[in-house]
Amino acid sequence: MTVRSRLSRLPTLALLAIMTAGALIPTMVPAHAADAQAPNGRGPHAHKPGIKPNGGAEDASDQGEEGPANGTPAGPVDRRTLSIGRGDTLMDLLAEAKVPTNDAHDAVQALRDVYNPRRLQVGQRVTVLFEPRRGGARFVGLEFAPDPLRSVSIARKGDAGFTSSQIEKPVTRKPVAAQGVIRSSLFEAGAQAGVPIAVMMAFIQDFSYDVDFQRDLQPGDRFEVLYEKLVTADGTEAGDGDLLYASLTLEGEDMPIYRHKTRDGRIDYYNRDGESIRRALLRTPVDGARITSGFGMRHHPILGFSKMHQGVDFGAPAGTPIYAAGRGTIEMAERSSSYGNYVRIRHNTEISTAYAHMSRFAKAIRRGGRVEQGDVIGYVGATGRATGPHLHYEVLKAGHQVNPRSIDLPTGDKLEGRELQAFQQTRRTLDKLFEESRSGLQLARTPGPADEKSCNKATSC
């Protein structure tokens, strides 16, 4: 295995100054065509160094301004970029780079202050730095970026060993708008519009108070989202930020929700009128993202609410987590003949909810225990009298099963006064941001029938 290296023109003193200031020399360019003869397969590979002495260095001490030493001419530094091979440790990589064992050991020790070297992944590129000297190059440090947001470096500290530092790259939050028409599932529509899965999960979670995803969604319903993408200064996408705004349009009725931070610092989602989306009970007490039955149920809505059937069935794959619909005390968690594994939660003196046919209970779910809304209490199964895996869900009022639809328990958390005014400002800002972001994008959307648009705000059209 060969390690090839090239000289870069970066002045040594400047480099050391930047490193000592806790900065990292960023951006190794991808392997060049010139590197095509680099050995394939496992083991360290050399890459052409693509260094930008003044362009991209993130310097914690001066917020990316050019360091004063940057222009000082001095000797070149030899950079060797290698990859961690399968089964290799950082020590192996340094040995491959011909770093003396003592130096390598000290460097790895110094690294432990900011990064656990065991977390280095196969394929992680590490740039090893040498200062050319008469009688052989001297190892002066190394650097790598374990993720797009972070860079880690080790630098020789005179003759006193090595120091390590870690730089968090500043990110900006870029708003992204997306919208789509639901054909078979919300998830599919989201994927088609390029919305990240985590954002769709948050979306579903936030609407779980109001929407029964198995029954309420119809083909042709629409969604809109405004979410953030985290972007570093060099344009690298580094994950998703918050969901800022979302709207579901069910049978022509818009249900927008907005993320808002109150003056005492609480962050929550509110509807257009400044009412918290949270309710005492979830409408969809299973992981809404995994419900698979699609729209089939809707052709026979009577199945869900017939007189014979005292609850609501949610078809979902076995093992899908079941959530406590609301905060309360567990009244029962036991096996009963036709209900199978069964949990009942008492929410207040009047209202309880019950969950049947579970494959198993979640850990620590036992009679007398307390649960919060959204706690996992068990998993979908087919125990008891069930033809296939599903959650049988009941809402009981004074001990009698009632239609969950007839129970609406708002939390009463409504913004008022100056808080409401602040929220209306948030709302206007987000509405505007959505329109701006949307007009700047090519959207993967299929427009719905024109008549759907005309009844946007009506509740009966």
Window 167 to 186, contacts with Zn ion (CB under 5 A): none
- Tell me the residue type at 65: E
Query: How far is 407 from 164, CA to CA, in rounded Å?
Result: 59
> Measured from the CB of residue 311, what is the shortest distance to Zn ion in angstroms?
5
306-345 binders of Zn ion (CB under 5 A): 311, 313
- Only one of the segments 59-67, 196-204, 391-399, 453-461 lies at the binding site for Zn ion (rule: CB under 5 A); that segment is 391-399
Instruction: Give the 3-state secondary structure of residue 451.
Output: helix
Q: Which stretch binds Zn ion (CB under 5 A): 127-135, 218-226, 282-290, 385-393?
A: 385-393
How far is Cα of residue 314 from the mean position of the Cα atoms in its chain?
26
**Rounded to 5°, angle at Cα 33 from 28 and 39:** 85
Closest CA to 391 of 381, 401, 405: 381
Nearest distance from C-beta of residue 308 to Zn ion, angstroms: 10
Q: How far is the CB of 363 from Zn ion (least distance, A)?
A: 25
Contact status: 394 vs Zn ion (CB under 5 A): no
| Rounded least distance, CB 413 to Zn ion, Å | 32
Give dist(CA 353, CA 326) in Å, integer. 8
Number of chain residues interacting with Zn ion (CB under 5 A): 3
Residues 110-129 as x/- pattern, contact with Zn ion by CB under 5 A: --------------------
Q: Per CB under 5 A, does 392 bind Zn ion?
A: yes
Helix (H) or strand (E) holding 453: helix 450-454
Q: CB-wise, 240 or 313, nearer to Zn ion?
A: 313
What is d(CA 397, CA 268) in angstroms, rounded to the nearest whole number?
29
What are the angstrom distances between the C-alpha of 262 and each of 99, 230, 258, 268, 341?
55, 23, 12, 8, 42
Asked if 212 touches Zn ion (CB under 5 A), the answer is no
Q: Which is nearer to Zn ion, 347 or 392 (CB)?
A: 392
Of 74 and 402, the one with the shorter C-beta distance to Zn ion is 402
- Taking the alpha carbons at both ends of the chain, their separation in whole angstroms is 72
**Structure tokens given for 213:** 């995803």
Q: Is residue 136 helix, strand or coil?
A: coil
> CB of residue 309 vs Zn ion: minimum separation in angstroms?
6
Q: Which is nearer to Zn ion, 338 or 425 (CB)?
A: 338
- Give the C-alpha separation, 128 to 48, whole Å: 13
User: Which CB sits closer to Zn ion, 131 or 313?
Assistant: 313
Please identify, using beta-carbon distances, which residue of 190 and 311 lies nearer to Zn ion: 311
Which CB sits closer to Zn ion, 59 or 313? 313
Q: How far is the CB of 302 from Zn ion (least distance, A)?
A: 13
120 vs 91: CA distance, rounded Å: 11
Give the residue nearest to Zn ion (CB). Answer: 392
CB under 5 A: which stretch of 97-105, 149-157, 303-311, 337-345 binds Zn ion?
A: 303-311
What gap in Å lies between CA 101 and CA 89, rounded to an integer? Answer: 13
Residues in CB range of 42: below 8 A, 6 or more apart: 85, 86
Please give the residue ranges that form the binding site for Zn ion (CB under 5 A).
Answer: 311, 313, 392
